[in-house]
Amino acid sequence: MNLHPERACRSTLQHIRVEDRFGYDRDAQATGIVHFGIGAFHRAHQAWYTDRAMDAGDSDWMILGVSLRSAGVSLEMNPQDGLYTVTERSGTSMKSRLVGAVRDVLLAAGESDRLIRQLASPQTRIVTFTVTEKGYCQTQEGTLDFALADATSFYPYLTAAMRIRHATGGEGLTLLSCDNLSHNGRQLKRLMRQYLEARAPDLLAWFDNECRCPSTMVDRIVPASTDTDKVELADRIGVEDRAAVFTEPFSQWVIEDDFASGRPRWENVGAQLVADVSSFETAKLRMLNGAHSALAYLGLRAGHEYVHEAIDDPNLRPIVERLMRDEAAPTICASPGQDLAAYASSLLDRFANSALKHRLIQIAMDGSQKIPQRWLATLEANRELDRPCPSLIASLKAWFDHLRGQNGKVEDPLSERLTELAKDSSNTALALSLFGSRGLLAGTWNISDDEVRHRLGDASDSPTIARIS
Ligand code: CS2
């Protein structure tokens, strides 16, 4: 990659030519947030909101970023003193903000003492998470997978820190999940409790009384940054930014207002603090994410590379529109003022943003973790009302083709077993081996074997379904 000779960092701060930048004194701010999973999404979303909240006058909410697996982000961000840009793209317009909210990034396994010290520090009041669906280490039955949790997750670090906070009379923490799980706060609380019950039962009562796990709905489309993006950016802003993120102008954050000991006033910079996020969260998961996954598998199968190409395809657009308007929306109990028809229209526009270059293959990964809350919950709700879902069924069959290797290597925590099951199987056999009573994903969809055969088997390719798929 041939970038600009100067790198974005403290000493080049004044040379960075951006449209917008933070104005607060970073050195005067304490670290109030520890974030697990500091990828592009966090940098373009929660860190961006927190940065603007500090600009609007809040203090002591600097972020310590934590990577659980790879040192990649710390290598990008630490030489830049945690500084990076967020560039919003739409049509031909581009607008960059220099964000100062991330203090630095550590790799959990290599610096566990420092991580636990920061989590236990009285300065830290909130722990946020974007560890993706698989990062919560659930078994197919939804219980905690202890082998995974002990080896690769945040649970042990939090437990060690809670032990110190408890012993020293410290305040409780707010654990804020920002992942695409239904009832993400409730799920995190349930799994954290399972971990404590087994590994530190003496902390359970303290956790229940002092800590909070509000649910949130987070939304901003953030494609993985490419080298080409970063080269173009360097030309525009005059320095190299290896941690740059690129996103759409839209963003939404709906948060349950239930915090253990304070929070930034995110509402001053556009977040919505509400008593209950469920209708926003369900709409986002079933409509936005549900449509995204459908576009990914149907779009790749049709030979597309990007989301905007797939939504422009006259064969695919009606399937996705039907999925949102006629299959997902009727299963959602909207809050007053929440207009699901308008939401579907705005999603179609967002998907069509060709400046984003959002790769379908990025969305296609981890299907086994995403599909239950994106599609199966909708299928289940429609089944109770005896309503057909041709778009979702067509999408599931496109996922089957993806598992057969049609789009290259399958990226999924269950990839080995999934590809083994999919190899040389008919749709009927594969559907049964996934969703049948003894299937790999049994329990994710409450459906009998006969119904699996009837709805997903080869004979179920009715003319309507065949036409739309
Ligand atoms: C996408 C999401 O990759 C995916 O699975 O559906 O990351 C999506 O872009 C975000 O949830 C949008 O808020």
Asked whether 219 lines ligand 1 (CB < 6 A), one says yes
Mean pLDDT of the chain: 95
Reduced to 3 states, what is the DSSP secondary structure of residue 67? strand
Tens of pLDDT along 325-363?
Answer: 999 999 999 999 899 999 999 999 999 999 999 999 999
Is the pLDDT at 366 greater than 80, yes or no? yes
The two counts, helices (H) then strands (E), for the chain are 22, 12
Please state the atom number of ligand 1 nearest to the C-alpha of residue 218: 13
* Closest residue by CA, ligand 1 atom 3: 363
Total residues found in the chain within this entry: 469
pLDDT at 466: 40
- ipTM of the prediction greater than 0.85, yes or no: yes
* Closest residue by CA, ligand 1 atom 10: 221
Asked whether 292 lines ligand 1 (CB < 6 A), one says yes
CA-to-CA separations, 209 to 192, 259, 260, in angstroms, rounded: 14, 12, 10
pLDDT at 19: 97
Q: Best substitution site from 248, 253, 289 to test ligand 1's pocket, by max atoms within 8 Å of Cβ?
A: 289
Tens of pLDDT along 368-402?
Answer: 999 999 999 999 999 988 999 999 999 999 999 99
* Closest residue by CA, ligand 1 atom 13: 219
Is the pLDDT at 279 greater than 90, yes or no? yes
Please give the sequence-ordered ranges of beta strands (E in DSSP) within 178-305, or none if there are none.
216-219, 245-247, 252-256, 272-274
Q: 157-166, 180-189, 211-220, 459-468: which range is least confident on average?
A: 459-468
Q: Best substitution site from 363, 368, 369 to test ligand 1's pocket, by max atoms within 8 Å of Cβ?
A: 363
pLDDT at 363: 98
pTM of the shown model: 0.95
Please state the atom number of ligand 1 nearest to the C-alpha of residue 292: 6
pLDDT at 3: 57
Ligand 1 centroid–CA 83 distance in Å is 24
* Closest residue by CA, ligand 1 atom 5: 363
Is the pLDDT at 44 greater than 60, yes or no? yes
User: What is the pairing mode between strands 93-99 and 84-90?
Assistant: antiparallel
Task: Give the pLDDT band (50/70/90) at residue 5.
Answer: confident
pLDDT at 141: 84
Backbone angles phi, psi at 176, to 5 degrees: -115, 100
User: Nearest to residue 37, comparing CAs of 118, 114, 152, 120?
Assistant: 152
What domains appear along the chain, each with residue ranges and CATH number?
10-274 (3.40.50.720), 278-468 (1.10.1040.10)
Quick one: tokens of 431? Answer: 């559907």
Task: Give the pLDDT band (50/70/90) at residue 1.
Answer: low
Ligand 1 centroid–CA 321 distance in Å is 17
* Closest residue by CA, ligand 1 atom 11: 219
List of residues 6+ apart from 256 with CB closer than 8 A:
185, 214, 215, 216, 273, 274, 275, 276, 277
pLDDT at 8: 95
Tens of pLDDT along 61-97?
Answer: 999 999 999 999 999 999 999 999 999 999 999 999 9
Is the pLDDT at 422 greater than 80, yes or no? yes
Asked whether 289 lines ligand 1 (CB < 6 A), one says yes
Is the pLDDT at 309 greater than 80, yes or no? yes
Quote the CA–CA distance of 223 and 244 in Å, as a whole number.
Answer: 11
Is the pLDDT at 266 greater than 80, yes or no? yes
Tens of pLDDT along 312-322?
Answer: 999 999 999 99
pLDDT at 463: 40
Ligand 1 centroid–CA 284 distance in Å is 10
* Closest residue by CA, ligand 1 atom 6: 289
Asked whether 180 lines ligand 1 (CB < 6 A), one says yes
Is the pLDDT at 436 greater than 80, yes or no? yes
Is the pLDDT at 283 greater than 60, yes or no? yes
Ligand 1 centroid–CA 466 distance in Å is 28
CB count within 10 Å of CB 313 equals 17
Quote the CA–CA distance of 308 and 313 in Å, as a whole number.
Answer: 9
